């Protein structure tokens, strides 16, 4: 066979094969501790008129950051200090806590995809300059994977899919009903809360794999 033709065939075959190396490396885990997204109005009530959030560090998802600001949660059964505010500012305030946090505070949040806060319970937020009596917005975030279009193509999934993630190790197993979220600003990351991380002995940066596509 003509060496040039052979080279051309090899090159075309390689181009057609998905990036096996990256797929084998899997999806990095991001563990979400309790945190809050605040509206501009609530930022002013809690931290003072005209206040804007100060960035402490960038998060992996483009544009998202941990702010220097923290709030205190006051529930019917308990108080939690130092709860991190995440920026940028949002249209609606949303507090994301674990089931364990909920039992400590005396608030049972529904399991929800981010942004779907309708009918969720409220809580009292306290900052250095004032308090907000939240009437809704406390959720337990449903596990999800952030990714870009290229990741979605490689993993053979689409935005809105519910997939199953496989975890190895002493507390291994699988997480079902994992929402796939695709956006150009997203970076490949499997987001779980602290209960899920502790139950599976996972920490930030650990790798998991997609094991099958479930129902939408």
Residue (44 or 195) nearer to a second copy, CB: 195
Look up tokens 């999800």; give the residue: 144
Q: Is 171 in the site for a second copy (CB under 8 A)?
A: yes
Rounded distance between C-alpha atoms, residue 135 and residue 90, angstroms: 16
CB closer to a second copy out of 136 and 195: 195
Is 99 near a second copy (CB under 8 A)?
yes
195 binds a second copy per the rule CB under 8 A: yes
The per-residue b/e assignment along 10-43, b for 16 or more CB within 10 angstroms, e otherwise, is eeeeeeeeeeeeeeeebbebbbbebbbbbbeebb
Other beta carbons less than 10 A from residue 133's beta carbon: 9
Contacts of 94 (CB under 8 A, 6+ apart): 36, 37, 114, 115, 117, 137, 139
Interaction between residue 100 and a second copy (CB under 8 A): yes
Q: Which one of 72, 148, 198, 209 is in contact with a second copy (CB under 8 A)?
A: 198
Q: How far is the CB of 69 from a second copy (least distance, A)?
A: 23
CB nearer to a second copy: pick between 99 and 153: 99
User: Measured from the CB of residue 176, what is the shortest distance to a second copy in angstroms?
Assistant: 4
Are the beta carbons of 122 and 139 closer than 8 angstroms? no
Q: Is 148 in the site for a second copy (CB under 8 A)?
A: no
- Binding a second copy (rule: CB under 8 A), the pick from 118, 172, 183, 212 is 172
Site for a second copy in 44-83 (CB under 8 A): none
Instruction: Say if residues 109 and 138 touch (Cβ distance below 8 Å).
Output: yes
Of 9-17, 43-51, 65-73, 93-101, which part binds a second copy (CB under 8 A)?
93-101
The only residue of 9, 79, 111, 150 in contact with a second copy, by rule CB under 8 A: 111
**Quick check: 120 and 154 in contact, CB under 8 A?**
no
By the 8 A CB rule, do 43 and 91 touch?
no
Q: Is residue 199 a contact residue for a second copy (CB under 8 A)?
A: yes
Residue 161 interacting with a second copy (CB under 8 A): no
For tokens 């885990």, the residue is: 29
Q: Which residues bind a second copy (CB under 8 A)?
A: 98-100, 111, 142-143, 164, 170-177, 194-196, 198-201
């Amino acid at each position: 066979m003509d060496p040039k033709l052979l080279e051309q065939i090899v090159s075309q075959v390689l181009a057609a094969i998905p990036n096996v190396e990256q797929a084998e490396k899997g999806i990095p885990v991001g563990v979400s501790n309790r945190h809050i997204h605040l509206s501009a109005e609530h930022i002013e009530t809690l931290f003072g008129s005209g206040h804007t959030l100060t960035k402490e560090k960038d998060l992996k998802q483009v544009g998202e950051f941990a702010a220097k600001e923290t709030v205190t949660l006051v529930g019917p059964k308990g108080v939690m200090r130092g709860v991190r505010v995440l920026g940028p500012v949002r249209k609606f305030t949303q507090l994301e806590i674990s089931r364990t946090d909920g039992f400590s505070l005396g608030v049972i949040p529904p399991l929800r995809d981010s942004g779907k806060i309708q009918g969720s319970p409220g809580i009292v937020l306290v900052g250095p300059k004032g308090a907000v009596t939240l009437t809704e917005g406390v959720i337990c975030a449903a596990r999800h994977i952030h990714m870009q279009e290229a990741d979605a193509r490689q993993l053979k999934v689409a935005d809105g899919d519910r997939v199953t993630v496989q975890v190895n190790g002493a507390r291994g197993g699988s997480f079902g009903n994992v929402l796939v979220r695709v956006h150009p600003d997203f970076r490949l990351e499997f987001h779980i809360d602290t209960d899920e991380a502790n139950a599976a002995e996972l920490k930030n940066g650990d790798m998991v794999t997609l094991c099958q596509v479930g129902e939408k």
